[in-house]
Every structure is written in C-alpha cells, then in structure tokens.
Structure 1
Amino acid sequence: MRPIRHDSSIVEFQRKRGGDCAAFFVPFLTSGMILLDAGCGPGTITAALAGLVAKAVGVDIEPNAIAAADRLAAAESLTNLSFVEADMTALPFEDEAFDAVFFHAVLYHQSQAVLTRALAEARRVLKPGGLIATRDADVGGNVLHPDIDGVRLALDLWQRWYEHDDPDALRFGRRQSSILRAHGFTPVWTGASYVNHSADATSRSEAVADARRSLLGFGPQLLRKGLATDDEIQTALAGWDAWGRDPDAVYFRCRCECVARKD
C-alpha cells in the first residue's frame, strides 16, 4: 500500500473544517451507533462524529497522525473517542463490530487493489444493515475564477505529488456510488458540496498561504522525482499570489458524497 502523505497544509485544513466534512452523514447517524473513521488523519472529523454516536474509533497508518489525534481526544476529554494506528486494508477489529464506517479523502488516492481490500475490510467490520459513507474529490466540479494558468498548474502539481495509478482517480468522486455498489454495498444517498476558499478576504488569504505552504513542502519531492521543474513551481506560486490579489477571486473545491448500506 502506498503511504498516505500527510502534507502539513492538508492536516491544517482538516483541523479547520472537520465538522463540515462529515455534515452529509449526520442525518444517517443515531446516538447508539459505534462508528469507525478509516484514514482519520489528525482526528478532527472523528471527534466531530463522536458527539453524535455512542463510540467513535479512528484508524490511520501514519503514526504522527495518530499522535495528533490522541492529543486532540485528550484535550477535548472525549471519553467515547479512541484512535488506533492500523492499516485500513487489515483492520484489527472483529467481524461486524461497527454500525457505520466513514472514509474521507482517502479512497481516491489508492490503487484498485488497495481500494478493493479497504472496502472488503469495511464490509467485514460492518454489521448487517450497517452504513458506509465516502466523501472524495472530483476535479471536474471545481470552480475557479479568474482562471489563472499558474493556479491550474498548482492544482496539477498537487495531483502529480500523489502519483495516481488510475487516470480516472481525479474524477473518483462522481463514481463513488457505482464503486460501492460493485463492492457489495447498496447506495442509499448521493450528493456533493463545495469547500469555499474564497468567502471573504481572510479566507482568500488563508487559501493562498495554505497553497504556498503546500507547494513549498512537496515541491522538492517533485523535483527529485523529475515530476516537475523549478520554473513550474515558481509559476504556480506566482499564480496563487495573483489570484489572492483579486478581490473577486473564487475557488470552490468540489467534494462528492455517498452513503451506502451493507445488505
């Protein structure tokens, strides 16, 4: 399994918007449920969900992510929340241990083989009638203005960093329902929402700062692997700076959502 890359700007984004990321799943949850958040990262989403269910467990393969999640749980004194360092393709739980499993921004990074194993494990640990919810990206739905070449290049560099095996991965979001159905689940709801990086001057400034931090963080890795040139990285940085100077700039990032049931 390819390691999930916890870029610092992505982790910070998850901390800021944890509750928003799971809003679509909230109507399906009840107070008696036991929920698993697979690929939980710093645990912000798991913590938000813990307030709605009897027990929430987060798993992540990255030790630093689990350490951050444990600190969050301790700081918020959430007694029904726990985190486990584990591979989502080999979960350390008994069969039918959970009422719900949640995947956020995890599955579209994976190869077909890893995706199949992860969904098989989710199905194994779900109780009959249990729910699986997925929320993932789809570049075809992003809204950007002004359409600056440097910003488009920056988004492309981010995709190169993940080195997707499947060219369709960038439009994974719209295919979630069919993918879950193909792996033995019955979709019961689909939808989409947007992450707004341009609500006001402050959010635009934060978007530019996050983009710069991310580009400067993974840029050296792209250079070492021959996946980008220094000129491309500088063009991408300049593009975000130009976007941030436009008071009417918008960037709405599409996230597709699906809820399905284990029959």
Structure 2
Amino acid sequence: MALDDADTRGLPRYTHGHEVATLASHGTRTAANSCAYLLPVLEPGMSLLDVGCGPGTITLDLAQLVAPGQVVGLENVEAPLISARSRAKERGDTLTRFEVGDALHLPFEDDTFDVVHAHQVLQHLPDPVLALQEMARVCRAGGWVAVRDADYAAMAWHPASPELEEWRTLYRAVARANDAEPDAARHLRAWALAAALHEVSFTATAWNYADAETCQWWGESQAVRYGGQTFTEQAARQGATAESLDRIVAGWRAWGGAPDAWFMIPNGELLARIT
C-alpha cells in the first residue's frame, strides 16, 4: 500500500508495501506451502473469504479446492488486486472475486462464509483481536477461521550476519511504529482467547531456504524490498540512515551468495471451529 493512501483513508499502514519485489515474493506462496494445516477441512462447495489476499496465488489455489463454492479475496487497497485478477484470468477462473475492504471492518453480513482465512495478515494490524472477531462474525456456525503468521524474533539464519541482525532490529522497530506486531506467531493463542474463540487448535510450521538458487533469490528479494522507497521512508522515521540501509541491503546480498546459506521462518497457525 502506498503510505499516502494508508494515511488518507485511515487504514493500517502495511510495512512491506506493494512494490514489485514484495508482490513477486508473495506470488510464490501457494496453498500447499502456506496453509497446509487448513487443507484437510476443505470440501467442494464451501464458500471462502481470503483476508489480505495479496496477489491471489493462495486464494486461487483454495478456489480450486472448494469449487464450485464462491471465493472472495479481500485487500484494503486496489494495487495487489490487479495482479490477482490477472492471475485468475491466466488460470481461467471466472468465479473468484477480488474486492477492496478493511480486515477490521469486514464488508460482509454475519454468517456469510464457511471458511475465513488470513495468511501473514494479523501481524500488520493494530487490533488483531478485533480482526479475529470480525473473521468469526462473517463465518457460519460449523465453519472455520484459519490464520498463519510469522515470528521475526524467532527467525534464524546461517552464516551469522551483523547486517541481518541490524535489519531485524530495524524492521521490528518500523513495524511497531505502525502499531503492528512482527512476532505475531507467539501471540496467536493469546489473541484467540481474547477474541473468545473456543474450539481452536494451534500448530507451527516453517519456511526453510536451504539451496543455492532459493537463497540467492531470497537474499536478492529482501535486498530490493528493504532498499525500496516504501521501507526506507519508514525506516528513516526510526532513525535509519542511508548508510545503514545500504549496509543492510549489501548484507542481504552477501548472505544470499554464501555457499552455505540457510534461512528459517517459523510460522504459527490457528484453526478455529466456529460454534
């Protein structure tokens, strides 16, 4: 999201923004690699809402699994939906809808969907408990609310890199300045309890980058993202200098080119049955 757009519309500020590098990274996410915990409960004919759908790759995978059920992908700005609609057209999917709406005030009636899903969304919201309550509100009795979020403090990598440690410290400061919680995974159970979700299971899985091609891609993707305008403007407000940002960008590229590079992103998962 463009910062001015967020400020003008009173929306939560999305730390990553929707620049090309971010959308390309998000475009590698699939139902298989990003919400496997949800797949066993899906059935054909279910209606599904994907909150914070981004470029739509997970949304469209889920649409295939619940077809002919109605699927809606929701974002709070239009920019990523352009990519999502293009991907739907490429897949020949004419049923999935992509709409603009606020995760904290979902634009749907109570009891509308069988499944309400959000991937890497709660960590960016100023009120994740309200978001869970809204997800539960629009979910039918007997349906499912599903959430997966990462934990930045628990991310691990090799080889050791002071530049990546500097990045993590800065990113967490920027996110918290946006009223967000970058270590969301560890908070999911507490948020679920606060949202009065009852039949809930909690699991954890990780993304792991551990081959030369993937590490090179991840390092370059992160270098471009954290050297881009969206992040650098926010980082400057937290005291980051051009020199420190250049150092972080170079650190990501150096890490990605290391012959023994390895990176792990832990994710917490919440699956709640709505009663």
Tell me the TM-score normalised to structure 2 length.
0.87
Q: Find the partner of 1:79 among 94, 116, 127.
A: 94
Comparing 7-16 with 51-60, greater Cα deviation is found at 7-16
Paired residue secondary structure (1:24) = coil
Superposed, 1:140-155 pairs within 5 Å as: 140-155=153-168
Q: In 2, distance between residues paired with 1:176 and 1:23? A: 17
Q: Gapped runs of 5+ residues in structure 1?
A: none
The answer to whether structure 1 residue 158 and structure 2 residue 168 are counterparts is no
C-alpha distance in structure 2 between counterparts of 1:77 and 1:30, whole Å: 21
Shift in Å, 1:48 = 0.9
Greater mean deviation of Cα atoms: 206-215 or 183-192: 183-192
Cα deviations across residues 114-157 of structure 1 (Å, max 9, x unaligned)? Answer: x2432232122111121101100112432211121101212333
The residue aligned with 1:173 is: 185
Say whether 1:241 aligns with 2:246.
no
- Is the 2:112–2:140 Cα contact (8 Å) retained in structure 1? yes
Distance in 2, Cα, partners of 1:79 & 1:204: 35
Q: Which residue of 2 aligns with 1:221?
A: 233
Q: Which structure 2 residues correspond to residues 93-112 of structure 1 after superposition, within 5 A?
A: 93-112=108-127
- What residue number does 1:210 align with? 221
Identity among equivalent pairs (%)? 31
AA matched with 1:204: C
Give the structure 2 partner of residue 68 of structure 1: 83
Q: For 2:239 and 2:74, locate their aligned partners in 1 and report how far apart those are by CA, in whole Å.
A: 31
Q: 1:262 is matched with which residue? A: 274
Query: Which one of 131, 134, 138 corresponds to residue 144 of structure 2?
Result: 131
Q: Which runs of 5+ in 2 are unaligned?
A: 1-10
Contact 1:34 / 1:56 at 8 angstroms: preserved in 2?
Answer: yes
Aligned partners of 2:191, 2:54: CA distance in 1, in Å?
A: 23
Over 3 Å counting, the alpha-carbon distance change for 1:154 and 1:136 in structure 2 is same
| 2:153–2:168 contact (8 Å) kept in structure 1 | no
Deviations 1:202-257, CA, capped at 9 Å, x for gaps: 11110111011112114531354243112211221232233223211211111111
Give the letter aligned to residue 98 of structure 1.
Answer: F
* Equivalent pair of 2:149/2:267 in contact (CA under 8 Å): yes
CA distance in 1, matches of 2:152, 2:176: 15
Aligned to 1:10: 22
1:158–1:171 Cα change, 3 Å = closer
What is the distance in 2 between the residues matched to 1:85 and 1:17? Answer: 21
The reply on whether 1:193 has 2:200 as its aligned counterpart is no
SS for the counterpart of 2:109 is coil
CA contact (8 A) 1:187 1:258 kept: no
Q: What is the rounded CA distance, in whole Å, between the counterparts of 2:110 and 2:123 in structure 1? A: 25
Tell me the equivalent position of 2:51.
38
Deviation at 1:200, TM superposition (A): 1.3
Q: Which amino acid aligns with 2:130?
A: R
Hey, what does 1:21 align to over in structure 2?
34
**Partners of 1:136 and 1:257 within 8 A in 2:** yes
Q: Distance in 2 between matches of 1:224 and 1:188?
A: 40
C-alpha contact 2:78 2:100 (8 A) present in aligned 1: yes
Distance 1:102 1:229, change over 3 A: same
Q: How many angstroms apart in 2 are the aligned matches of 1:11 and 1:261?
A: 31
Determine the C-alpha separation between the residues in 1 that align with 2:250 and 2:13.
Answer: 30
Shift of 1:34: 0.6
